[in-house]
Chains A and B, each alone.
Chain A
């Protein structure tokens, strides 16, 4: 099975390539708008950010084209060496990178600065793909899960050591890949529940209710719903689910009744006994019918309780003050309009003033006066929001969703685990960047400094995503050479 260039370009996924071109050029034009300031300068002048970005785009097209010329087997054969090399580079970066606002993540090579963390993404994706394509590999064994998780944790730790927590968080999204390859959905559910509990407990941690806070009250209710729901759906034990639900409702009614009779009930003194009793009942139920999923449910509930009690501790003791403030701003607990909330507030004003059709290209006042810091990099989305309004903002989201769904489709049409896993890695990374970047610009999640793929200004980020995508295109283009066994 020999490949030649002709066949590659015939089977290349041109639709994805087109999306890529539209997004990068759209990005460069937005950067021009974001940096526009009174004086007319050329869109393409190398003195401007947009001019440079066009230059980066051309360079990344060259890069992409070169990647397409490399035989697919190269990626498969050298996945581990590439990963290993990249990890060593990440490690060295900690020591050789200059201190930029506390982070050591940029390697300076003469006039060019590169961020290895951007390139470690594709390396990790390749290594994961290679691992999953190992003969006989399956996520049924704990050892295999440990290897996969270790492979993901290594770059996370190295990047945290560079003090770039934001970029490190990206790798957590590989949990989607593990999930697709067979990891139990319980893990996703647990992660999601943990985030919900954390957010609810914190967001309403200032309003007292029943001797506890509204946040804690809600978390208790959520926990009860989760227990009943898991019994019903996950354990398929309708009998136990009904008993527990009736128990909760009954004791709730008793508590409300007692309240009207003039008794003050402390939240802990109510929820604790009720939940513990229900868990003891479930333990007995487990012994009776020996359904191990009930045991999982009990563990889940206990973990939930523990999380509730550690939220305040973790928040106040583990996170640094500026991180706490970012989360508080995102959860609208505090309005730090002059400090941590400044970016988000200004970015909301910029987007909010855009209206349906926006103020028009180069007419954004927020933009023109540089109100929003980092507007050409992490906050590029708010330029689009201001100048192109709701229509433009939705269009950009639509482009991303189309690209991500397209990549998932590509993933599922692969015949090898290597290709599929790699494709899912690419999709997951884009999902993470899109969710977090747009979420922070809209003030829905904490400000984590990560770029919007293909749009944000910067060579490293653009080349990183280009590499990710073009390796995928290359692998996909030769899918027919790898027949169905």
Chain B
């Protein structure tokens, strides 16, 4: 084969390419390794010790200024991996009373963080005895030190699901947010999670100098570069701690929830879920064990029924119907509908109980007549002015959304449920063979597909008490140094004209004075209320109540929901009434009713 010398020259291009590239790399190496000193500092960091100073986490007070959550010191063993030198691991393990295996696992976990020059938590929450023992010997374990941290503590064993808890950040969170290092605490549930950014404060840092054997020689440049930590913001809650505790006592032995709202502000006075737990269970060394136990509990104590459970509202739904039917011109206060022990049409029947008939809106609310509201919704859905039934249904649904149903209200707690409101699309998909006013008539009395959280029921009650507006219900009244969050200062106005509320309120007042919730009557205070008995396909009916007082210038709006409690008057009304009495009068006179409620159990 003849050689092509023209092409052979190309070897210089190829060889030249790699030579030039390697020269570029050598220049780069020269810059990195010899010209630029900063990398050396970064890698060594020997002379300076950056010591994190943790800020104090914000405290939590109730509406009257009573302390609820505060901080307790706790001790963590930390480690700077770079400084670890071979040491007597058996002595170390014995002093801290951990096994060799646990020691290895923890060290491995710290190594996985890949942070070798900064302090990492090795063992959190050691007790005072271990603290005393290890402190004496600490010099034998180079690289390890003790850091004082905070633990949450509670003045009373109440409101666990509102307050939430703190836990160590997981690897992902530490990665995502620069604020956290592995081993730091973060709010896990409730307010601790929701207000984490306000509560956590700003970390400080001390820069210390140390010599070659590791002795601290003082602050770098006399502490000129140290950063002071800033404590987290304190929270002032709308919660009345006494009322909250009282509510939790009333709900003992029952599953369900109570939500009490101050209508004028939207501040939540009490948010009770039952069963609940002692918030101290989720603090300290045993947190993990207790947490698992709570999760495994069949009654789900960590499930905040007040905002996470969606229940059929039952008859507490009827006032909203009274408002919508009036607004849409389907009824006037004097419109009469028949009731022959129920609503009967085309072989369908929704039962009712004995009362005089025909009747108009006010007595219909007072006696909780099912037929009246069935007729009302039927006439609305079949009204030609909307076009189709589906169009009418959308109008109906939109009014309810404006009243706070079917969507999250936006409470300042995590994991709020939105309840459920069907729309026409939902029916198209779920009712085979088409639907009309008759097939879905039970939604008019809060059965069927409609679901609401106790919070939504209480909020509807607040909107009625206010005669036509509400504020997003919220737990935190004020963040110290920040104020009230803007979302909680914004009035929300439902699509119902103010003038239509009077008749509904009169009906609710009637229910207390001479209707279904006479037990709610309080001496000297005009209470308005509405019972609810929600049919439950899985067992005994749920007992519900919503009410507010006083009728004029209302101070409290409340919703009570007791699972399997039977008639609304059995549990809902007395509990709601006792709560109002406690809040408005400061003390409860009806001791029989009180002890009956506190001591009864529903399985």
Q: Which residues of A contact B (CB under 8 A)?
A: 38, 176, 179-182, 185, 188, 338, 348-356, 365-366, 369-371, 373, 385-386, 389-390, 393-394, 397, 400-401, 404-405, 408, 411-412, 415-417, 424, 427-428, 431, 434-435, 438-439, 442, 444, 484-485
Contacts and interface: CB of A to CB of B under 8 A. Distances in A.
A350 B33 contact: no
B415 interface: no
B100 interface: no
A180 B1 contact: no
B582 to A, nearest CB: 52
B44 A365 contact: yes
B32 A442 contact: yes
Interface string B175-189: 100100000000000
Contact of A442 (B7, B15, B25, B111): B25
B384 interface: no
B14 A435 contact: no
Contacts of A349: 39, 42-43
**Chain B binding surface SS class:** helix
Contact of B33 (A389, A408, A435): A389
B28 interface: yes
Contacts of B82: 365, 369
Contact of A352 (B14, B32, B111, B175): B32
Given A348-B39, A390-B30, A444 B1 contact: no
Interface of B: 1-2, 4, 7-8, 10-11, 13-15, 17-19, 21-22, 24-26, 28-30, 32-34, 36, 38-40, 42-44, 81-82, 84, 86, 111, 114, 116, 175, 178
Contacts of B14: 176, 179-180, 408, 424, 427-428, 431
B11 A412 contact: yes
Contacts of A439: 25
B89 to A, nearest CB: 12
Nearest to B112: A370
A97 B44 CA distance: 43
A120 B323 CA distance: 77
Contacts of A180: 7, 10-11, 14
Nearest to B42: A349
A371 B11 contact: no
Nearest to A182: B7
Given A393-B29, A442-B29, A353 B42 contact: yes
B7 A181 contact: yes
A351 B114 contact: no
Contacts of A397: 22, 25-26
B32 A348 contact: yes
A385 B44 contact: no
Contacts of B36: 352
A29 to B, nearest CB: 20
A334 to B, nearest CB: 15
Contact of A338 (B11, B21, B42, B175): B175
A401 B22 contact: yes
B29 A435 contact: no
Given A369-B82, A369-B116, A444-B28, 12 more contacts: A180-B10, A180-B11, A182-B7, A185-B13, A348-B39, A349-B39, A351-B29, A390-B30, A408-B15, A417-B1, A427-B14, A428-B14
15 contacts: A176-B17, A182-B7, A188-B13, A349-B43, A351-B33, A353-B42, A353-B44, A369-B116, A385-B29, A390-B33, A397-B26, A401-B22, A404-B18, A405-B18, A408-B14
A442 B21 CA distance: 13
B78 to A, nearest CB: 16
B33 A385 contact: yes
Contacts of B15: 404-405, 408
Contacts, number: 119
B22 A485 contact: no
Given A181-B7, A350-B43, A416-B1, A435 B18 contact: yes
B117 to A, nearest CB: 9
A356 B585 CA distance: 83
A188 B32 CA distance: 30
A444 B29 CA distance: 11
Contacts of A338: 175, 178
Nearest to A365: B43
A452 B19 CA distance: 17
A408 to B, nearest CB: 5
Contact of A366 (B2, B13, B29, B43): B43
Nearest to A424: B14
Contacts of A185: 10, 13
B7 A393 contact: no
A353 B25 contact: no
B411 to A, nearest CB: 34
Nearest to A355: B33
Contacts of B8: 412
A49 B247 CA distance: 64
Nearest to A346: B114
B11 A435 contact: no
Contacts of B24: 444
B19 A390 contact: no
A438 B439 CA distance: 74
Contacts of A428: 14
A448 to B, nearest CB: 15
Contacts of B1: 415-417, 484-485
Contacts of B11: 180, 408, 411-412
Contacts of A385: 29, 32-33
B29 A370 contact: no
Contacts of B22: 397, 400-401, 434
A348 B32 CA distance: 7
A431 B19 CA distance: 10
A439 B15 CA distance: 18
Contacts of A438: 25
Contacts of B32: 348, 351-352, 385, 442
Nearest to A338: B175
B39 A353 contact: yes
A338 B178 CA distance: 9
Top 3 nearest A-B pairs by Cβ distance? A352-B39, A353-B43, A369-B116
Nearest to B32: A352
Nearest to B81: A369
Given A352-B39, A352-B40, A415-B1, A435 B21 contact: yes
A389 B39 CA distance: 13
Contacts of B34: 355-356, 390
B573 to A, nearest CB: 57
A353 B19 contact: no
A366 B116 CA distance: 9
B42 to A, nearest CB: 5
B173 to A, nearest CB: 13
Most buried by A among B17, B25, B33, B34: B33
B44 A352 contact: no
Contacts of B4: 182
Contacts of A355: 33-34, 40
B13 A179 contact: yes
Nearest to A417: B1
Most buried by B among A373, A397, A412, A444: A397
A412 B14 CA distance: 12
B28 A442 contact: yes
Nearest to B40: A353
Most buried by B among A181, A350, A365, A416: A365
A455 to B, nearest CB: 15
Nearest to A432: B18
Contacts of A386: 43
B114 A38 contact: no
Contacts of B38: 352
Nearest to A482: B1
A176 B7 CA distance: 12
A1 B571 CA distance: 108
A38 B86 contact: yes
Given A371-B116, A404-B18, A412-B8, A393 B42 contact: no
B348 to A, nearest CB: 57
